[in-house]
A and B are shown apart, each in its own frame.
Chain A
Amino acid sequence: METQNIEVDILVIGGGTAGPMAAIKAKQKNPALKVLLLEKANVKRSGAISMGMDGLNNAVIPGYATPEQYVREITVANDGIVNQKTLFAYAENSYAMIEELDSWGVRFEKDENGDYAVKKVHHMGTYVLPMPEGHDIKKVLYRKLKQARVDITNRLVATRVLTGADGRAAGALAFDCRTGVYTVICAKAVILCTGAAGRLGLPASGYLFGTYENPTNAGDGYSMAYHAGAELSGIECFQINPLIKDYNGPACAYVTGPMGGYTANARGERFIESDYWSGQMMQEFYQELAGGKGPVFLKLNHLAEETVANIETILHGNERPSRGRFHQGRGTDYRTDMVEMHISEIGLCSGHSASGVWVNERAETTVPGLYAAGDLACVPHNYMLGAFVYGRLAGESAADYCAATEFAAIDAQQVEAERQRIFAPLTRGQGLSPAQVEFKLRRLVNDYLQPPKVARRMEIGLRRFEDIRADLQKMAVSNPHELMRAAEVGFILDCAEMAARASLFRTESRWGLYHYRQDYPERNEADWQAHVQVKKDRNGNMQVFKRALEPYLVELEETEKRVYRQLRIQPRQTNSSGEHHGV
């Protein structure tokens, strides 16, 4: 197989949200640097915001919220397990990023005075800034990439981070999913921006690509960071979302909540006080189903015609615009029908929960020269705006690092071993198809890892994952596109194993449904006010260990700590007919 060699100062892997920002900011910091943005699809339409985004979910805007308030809210929402320094780095740079995006041409909702029209969705504070015209955000980013003279390469699938003799990042190995050309990229710094592990559980529909996340985000960066020796954190804090049943996309209460929509049970009654996504919220969703009051719905059919029409314009033109034709096909009209929802399969995504590659407030991982930003970097609940802010931090940190760094020598053995590993399915002729192996692996993820969790199930799951690991050696493909899918099965398997081991290690329950252990149903603050880290040890084994919490910069009030555990609407007074409302 043909080999291509590239040398750059900074390699950014992933051209969705954080990646373009990292590349632009590295280049702005030092225009002399050679910065390459590598993308598995095409930068014009790649990643989670391929079709735009309908709002900022975590805008920290003066007059509405302070960085301190935001850090408190997310500390509580993520059940105390946060590094507040990283949250602060996000919160303090949040507003400047909004203003910069605004100046680039990204359109946010403003009131009649031209001020940002921020809405309340979270349980405590006010952080949601709608973007009813947010469909062209990728176009804005693309224009800025061109202006900043960032080099772009599309359709390259990165499979491993190269490391130098001293363990630091030295580049990456990739192949072209159309031509099959093997590519060796030497770089002083590598920034991982590959998004969530969105193809982990199998959607209930059985359709491999019917995921909440853009399914091209298969957990590539989680696996690459792991094999490079970086620590990952909070992997047991799964992403589980309340989604439109079968469509498996957002319904979406963040957009509709401020307009009067809400999550309801089958009787059309509210049962949670806040529709902000958290493990505790998902736990209440789960309880509502267990209590015989399901299914759960998004209720909009009480709203005025002009409100519903506005909701349709936003939801059917942004982020996941095919929602509109899905509802049409089912005969669902927001005016008359509630939207049936369900509990999604599991994924890993720090954009929504907390699973990710461990980073500090400069977006540095524990491997020198390796940075991470966006959905795969452990900055809890950081969403799209967090991806932009951490993209900026990663780009600027990497630019500084490059100034004092020489290229690490490339290890020819690594390059050759990866070539053998990655291209093997093309040479086998006969074997298992990647789609078949992926289907089985993800079905096993559902069977053994979908909460509620229990040790015996997860232990059996780990054994079955080992069988799948043997099956990786039997996959056969006939072209580079299928080879990409084969590589992704490896990423998914690494994520599944990390998810099982981290979940087994944390012998308590936390984050509501995200880590509900039936065999350890209680929260155990004495032993588990700590991060759970996963890392590949020197012998190549998966090591799981505790990392102590950094002291909080903002102390929480005792009353505050419990608010996300009290999401269920409490029973009200008995009415005249003697019927109880609420629970």
Chain B
Amino acid sequence: MAFNHTDFPVKVNLDACIADKGCTVCIDVCPLDVLAIDLATGKAGMKYDECWYCLPCEKDCPTQAITVDIPYLLR
């Protein structure tokens, strides 16, 4: 349960991510709709702690900017 600061499983390499150039692949494919553009950086990031560690975001990312960890509670 995430009422406080949480370790998010989806890690985005901000140097590799091209969301600021209009890419939304990871945001589009996430079955749980947990990813969104971070308005501060223009990059993709995890907005909700609802990850199923299923990996479409990682596999479909055109620049391999994403790594999905197993959520801390399961690790």
Total inter-chain residue pairs, C-beta < 8 Å: 87
Q: In the complex, which residues 28-59 of chain B have their Cβ closer than 8 Å to any Cβ of chain A?
A: 28-33, 47-48, 50-56, 59
Inter-subunit contact A42/B54 (CB<8 Å): no
Inter-subunit contact B29/A42 (CB<8 Å): yes
Q: Chain A residues near B29: list those with CB within 8 A.
A: 42, 44-45
Q: Which of B48, B52, B73 contacts A214, CB < 8 Å? A: B52
Assuming A215-B52, A322-B54, A435-B1, is B32 touching A207 (CB within 8 A)?
Answer: no
Shortest B67–chain A CB gap in Å is 9
Inter-subunit contact A50/B54 (CB<8 Å): yes
Inter-subunit contact A208/B54 (CB<8 Å): no
We find that the number of chain A residues with CB closer than 8 angstroms to chain B is 38
Q: Mark A118-157, 1 if CB is under 8 A from B, else 0.
A: 0000000000000000000000000000000000001100
Q: Chain A residues near B48: list those with CB within 8 A.
A: 481
Q: Which of A41, A44, A177, A206 contacts B1, CB < 8 Å? A: A206
Chain B's closest residue to A247 (CB) is: B74
> Does A194 sit within 8 A of B, measured CB to CB?
no
Inter-subunit contact A207/B73 (CB<8 Å): yes
Chain A's closest residue to B73 (CB) is: A207
> Does A30 sit within 8 A of B, measured CB to CB?
no
Inter-subunit contact A177/B75 (CB<8 Å): no
Q: Which of A50, A205, A211, A248 contacts B56, CB < 8 Å? A: A50
> Does A484 sit within 8 A of B, measured CB to CB?
yes
> Does B69 sit within 8 A of A, measured CB to CB?
yes
> Does A104 sit within 8 A of B, measured CB to CB?
no
Inter-subunit contact A41/B31 (CB<8 Å): yes
Inter-subunit contact A45/B73 (CB<8 Å): no
6 A-B pairs with C-beta separation under 8 A = A45-B31, A45-B60, A210-B52, A247-B70, A322-B68, A322-B70
> Does A46 sit within 8 A of B, measured CB to CB?
yes
> Does A439 sit within 8 A of B, measured CB to CB?
yes
Residue from B47, B53, B59, B60 with most neighbouring chain A CB atoms (10 Å): B53
Inter-subunit contact A329/B52 (CB<8 Å): no
> Does A326 sit within 8 A of B, measured CB to CB?
yes
Q: Which of B32, B53, B71, B73 contacts A216, CB < 8 Å? A: B32
Chain B's closest residue to A328 (CB) is: B70
Assuming A215-B52, A322-B53, is B31 touching A205 (CB within 8 A)?
Answer: no
Inter-subunit contact B33/A210 (CB<8 Å): no
Q: Chain A residues near B33: list those with CB within 8 A.
A: 41, 155, 177-178, 481, 484
7 shortest interchain CB distances as A-B pairs: A45-B56, A45-B29, A41-B31, A207-B73, A322-B53, A246-B74, A205-B73
We find that the number of chain B residues with CB closer than 8 angstroms to chain A is 27
Binding site for B on A (CB under 8 A): 41-42, 44-47, 50-51, 154-155, 177-178, 205-211, 214-216, 246-248, 320-322, 325-326, 329-330, 435-436, 439, 481, 484-485
Q: Chain B residues near A325: list those with CB within 8 A.
A: 69-70
Inter-subunit contact A51/B55 (CB<8 Å): yes
How far is it, in angstroms, between the C-alpha of A207 and the C-alpha of B75 when the chains are bound?
11
Shortest B17–chain A CB gap in Å is 18
Q: Chain B residues near A247: list those with CB within 8 A.
A: 70, 74
Chain B's closest residue to A330 (CB) is: B75
Chain B's closest residue to A327 (CB) is: B70
Q: Chain A residues near B2: list those with CB within 8 A.
A: 435
How far is it, in angstroms, between the C-alpha of A330 and the C-alpha of B74 when the chains are bound?
10
Inter-subunit contact A208/B52 (CB<8 Å): no
Shortest A205–chain B CB gap in Å is 5
Shortest B6–chain A CB gap in Å is 11
Assuming A42-B28, A216-B32, is B55 touching A322 (CB within 8 A)?
Answer: yes
Inter-subunit contact A209/B32 (CB<8 Å): yes
Residue from A41, A46, A207 with most neighbouring chain B CB atoms (10 Å): A207
Chain B's closest residue to A211 (CB) is: B52
Chain B's closest residue to A44 (CB) is: B29
How far is it, in angstroms, between the C-alpha of A248 and the C-alpha of B48 when the chains are bound?
20
Residue from A46, A51, A209, A215 with most neighbouring chain B CB atoms (10 Å): A209
Assuming A209-B32, A216-B31, A326-B74, is B52 touching A439 (CB within 8 A)?
Answer: no
Inter-subunit contact A215/B60 (CB<8 Å): no
Q: Chain A residues near B47: list those with CB within 8 A.
A: 481
